[in-house]
Amino acid sequence: MIRLVRASIGIAIAMALVMSIGGMWLARREAARLVTSSFESRRPIFETPSDVGMDYRDVQVTSADGLDLAGWWIPSRNGAALIVQHGYKTNRSTRLLGIAALLVKHGYGVLLSSVRAHDVNGGEVISFGLEEMQDMAAWVAFVGQVDGVDPQRIGIFGNSMGGSLAIQLAAQSPAIKAVVAHSATASIRSTVETSVRYFTGLPPLPFAPMILFWVERDWGIDADVLDFTQWIDDLSPRPVLLMQGGADVVIAPASGQLLYEAALEPRELWFDAALDHVAFFDERPEEFERRVVGFFDWYLLDSFTEPLAIDGLPQPYLPESR
């Protein structure tokens, strides 16, 4: 009987050890998948700005460390320009062409930018802002020198990870005068459980901390550095508009509030409990136009002007302070 009990305990310990090793192997594999993006695995570009009625030209910049980056440029008609930045494992066409067309309709020059390990660019490691700032800095330099753009009237709009990059970029670059962050991540640690569930299908416990461990150990990505609440207060007195959906399954729905609480004035938070990730343009198009275009008009143009005539639109959104 004693031998049977000992054998059972031994088997249980062995099974627990095997499961633990298997779990760590799975977490390490998923960590590698989350922070790498081979060229062959990327979603292709199926549409260009011409498909939504915009005249554009292909443009290219080179990052400080030598990576060539592709973008699309649509000229400005009001002297202001907006960088429109894609999110995680997407490209400059993904859920952005309609937004770009809206901004162009209101006179803005639009740069649809891209970063390393995305789109058609070089690199295969996604560092969530650690290395991508070199790419964003190259795009800011491009926009600041393009004909027809007043370098004092440059803003940025970012989707998802692109919104977080926009916050970090503006904190580091005074050339950015206004920021709109659409479903931006507040920090890696605050969203890891939600994001692990969405991108891997694995339960957050025990896998979220295990995956984060391997991301830091194998890829040298310090999660504590990737806390965008530490950057956002450096924007003031430049304005930020945050948009966050309460039904977001990609990042933690609390992200918008966390960023808003960390920001200084002028700051705005547009929260909609019913909306999923980066869904504001698709689900609330008229209010999106009123708020986002109104925000950029208010802060980037000499004085607030009415949007171009559009039947049936409510009055433009006016921030409380300028």
pLDDT at 294 over 80: yes
pLDDT, one tens digit per residue, over 155-204 is 999 999 999 999 999 999 999 999 999 999 999 999 999 999 999 999 99
Mean pLDDT of 86-91: 98
Query: Which token pair is 211?
Result: 């995956």
User: Is 10 or 276 the better-scoring residue by pLDDT?
Assistant: 276
Evaluate the omega torsion of the peptide bond into residue 266 and state whether it is cis, within 30 degrees of 0.
Answer: yes
* Residue spans per domain, the chain: 36-187+226-300
Ordered DSSP codes for 186-212: SBHHHHHHHHHHHHH---HHHHHHHHH
Supply angle C-alpha 71, 43, 50, rounded to 5: 45
Residue 180 near residue 103 (C-beta atoms within 8 A): no
Give the helix ranges, DSSP H, for the chain.
2-35, 97-105, 132-145, 161-172, 188-200, 204-219, 229-232, 255-262, 280-283, 285-288, 294-300
What is the model's pTM?
A: 0.89
23-27, 48-52, 165-169, 282-286: range with lowest mean pLDDT: 23-27
Q: In what order do the strands lie in the sheet with 68-74?
A: 57-62, 68-74, 109-113, 81-85, 154-159, 178-182, 240-245, 267-272
pLDDT tier at 20, thresholds 50, 70, 90: low
Mean pLDDT of 229-247: 98
pLDDT at 308 over 50: no
Q: How high is the pLDDT of residue 67?
A: 97
pLDDT tier at 245, thresholds 50, 70, 90: very high
The neighbour count for residue 147, using CB atoms within 10 Å, is 7
Was domain 36-187+226-300 assigned CATH 3.40.50.1820? yes
What is the rounded distance in angstroms from the CA atom of residue 57 to the CA atom of residue 145? Answer: 16
Q: How high is the pLDDT of residue 319?
A: 46
Counts of helices then strands in the chain (DSSP H, E): 11, 8
Evaluate the omega torsion of the peptide bond into residue 237 and state whether it is cis, within 30 degrees of 0.
Answer: yes
pLDDT tier at 316, thresholds 50, 70, 90: very low
Nearest in space to 138 (alpha carbons), one of 62, 58, 59, 57: 62
**Matching residue, tokens 């206004």:** 178
pLDDT, one tens digit per residue, over 94-130 is 999 999 999 999 999 999 999 999 999 999 999 999 9
Q: How high is the pLDDT of residue 14?
A: 36
